[in-house]
């Protein structure tokens, strides 16, 4: 079909002076340079058992913005009264947005939407979904990066239940000798205490020279469940003593903030053979 044209098609069936089927199709397209552009179409069909009418409209509001509207009506064997589907889509390069809604004059059946934006060092997105049959669902994501840190935040809501997750990786000093990673999960719902689980990990270079090299790593857990220690700390320290020719690995485990287990493994060389202690 050429731009700016309009066409209609009709179908009629005559049987014994009766018309068991009447159908029609209509379509209209916009001129080539019109703004906003509108594409419109409709379809109707009538039989002794079913009547259907559907209308569609697609509008280009701007160069990267589209809006869709579809309406359906049916009678006789199937009854649908003014069911409308609306859609919206917009693309602004780094920012994108989309929405969808299905409703009738009496009730809204479904709503969905999404939004996202991409920055130079960040990404943010949000989406939502609700229907007549399910609780509302919503999710948000945010990711930001820089030279010394990376952070991720996620949040979700389903009905009255909330879940949030935050993760961060950062360099404590500018020489990257100490790095820290934190992961935190929070679960909450009305009339109940929130549940928090947190992991924290640290890797640090303690010393590096011609006499000694030393590096440590630690992992700390905090959680409320009684089947596990509510606080748990694991620490490993690796030392290379170049003057004495020793390699030492010290392991520590802490429980409940007041109990600690320490184990030390030493590898060295004492002529005529190496030793482990």
**pLDDT in the model for residue 3:** 67
192: pLDDT strictly greater than 60: yes
Nearest to 43 by CA among 29, 56, 53, 51: 53
- Looking at the domain assignment, is residue 188 inside a domain? no
**pLDDT in the model for residue 189:** 85
- Looking at the domain assignment, is residue 127 inside a domain? no
17: pLDDT strictly greater than 80: no
- Looking at the domain assignment, is residue 256 inside a domain? yes
Q: Categorize the per-residue pLDDT at 117 as very low, low, confident or very high, splitting at 50, 70 and 90.
A: very high
Please tell me the least confidently modeled range out of 36-50, 57-71, 184-198, 249-263: 249-263
Q: Domain residues for 261?
A: 200-277
Question: CA 31 to CA 142: how far, in whole Å?
Answer: 42
- Looking at the domain assignment, is residue 232 inside a domain? yes
The Cα diameter of the chain in Å comes to 116
259: pLDDT strictly greater than 90: no
Give the SS3 label for residue 94: coil
**pLDDT in the model for residue 1:** 54
Which tokens in the block code for residue 64? 């990267």
Q: Are 104 and 84 in contact (CB under 8 A)?
A: yes
- Looking at the domain assignment, is residue 4 inside a domain? no
pLDDT digits (tens, 9 = 90+) for 224-250: 888 878 888 899 999 998 888 889 999
- Looking at the domain assignment, is residue 151 inside a domain? no
16: left (phi over 0), alpha (psi -120 to 50) or beta: left
pTM: 0.75
- Looking at the domain assignment, is residue 146 inside a domain? no
Question: CA 34 to CA 3: how far, in whole Å?
Answer: 10
**pLDDT in the model for residue 70:** 95
Q: How many distinct structural domains can be found in the chain?
A: 1
**pLDDT in the model for residue 88:** 94
- Looking at the domain assignment, is residue 273 inside a domain? yes
61: pLDDT strictly greater than 70: yes
pLDDT digits (tens, 9 = 90+) for 62-95: 778 999 999 999 998 888 889 999 999 998 888 9
Gyration radius (Cα) of the chain, Å: 33
257: pLDDT strictly greater than 70: no
**pLDDT in the model for residue 277:** 78
């Amino acid at each position: 079909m050429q731009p700016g044209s309009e066409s209609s098609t009709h179908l009629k069936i005559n049987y014994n002076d009766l018309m068991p089927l009447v159908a029609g199709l209509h379509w209209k397209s916009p001129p080539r340079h019109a703004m906003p552009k509108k594409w419109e179409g409709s379809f109707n069909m009538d039989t002794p058992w079913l009547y259907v009418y559907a209308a569609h409209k697609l509008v280009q509001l701007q160069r990267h913005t589209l809006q869709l509207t579809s309406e359906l009506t049916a009678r006789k064997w199937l009854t649908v009264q003014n069911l409308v589907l609306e859609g919206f889509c917009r693309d602004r390069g780094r920012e994108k947005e989309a929405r969808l809604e299905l409703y009738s004059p009496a009730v809204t059946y479904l709503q969905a939407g999404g939004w996202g934006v991409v920055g130079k060092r960040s990404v943010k997105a949000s989406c939502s979904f609700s229907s007549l049959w399910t609780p509302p669902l919503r999710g948000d994501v945010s990711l930001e990066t820089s030279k010394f840190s990376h952070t991720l935040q996620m949040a979700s809501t389903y009905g009255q239940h909330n879940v949030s997750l935050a993760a961060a990786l950062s360099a404590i000093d500018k020489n990257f000798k100490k790095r820290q990673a934190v992961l935190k999960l929070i679960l909450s719902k009305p009339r109940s205490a929130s549940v928090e689980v947190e992991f924290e990990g640290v890797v640090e270079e303690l010393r590096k020279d011609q006499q000694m090299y030393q590096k440590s790593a630690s992992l700390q857990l905090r959680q409320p469940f009684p089947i596990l220690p509510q606080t748990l700390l694991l620490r490993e320290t690796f030392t290379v003593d170049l003057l004495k020719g020793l390699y030492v690995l010290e392991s520590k485990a802490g429980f409940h903030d007041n109990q600690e287990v320490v184990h030390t493994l030493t590898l060295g060389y004492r002529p005529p053979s190496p030793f482990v202690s």
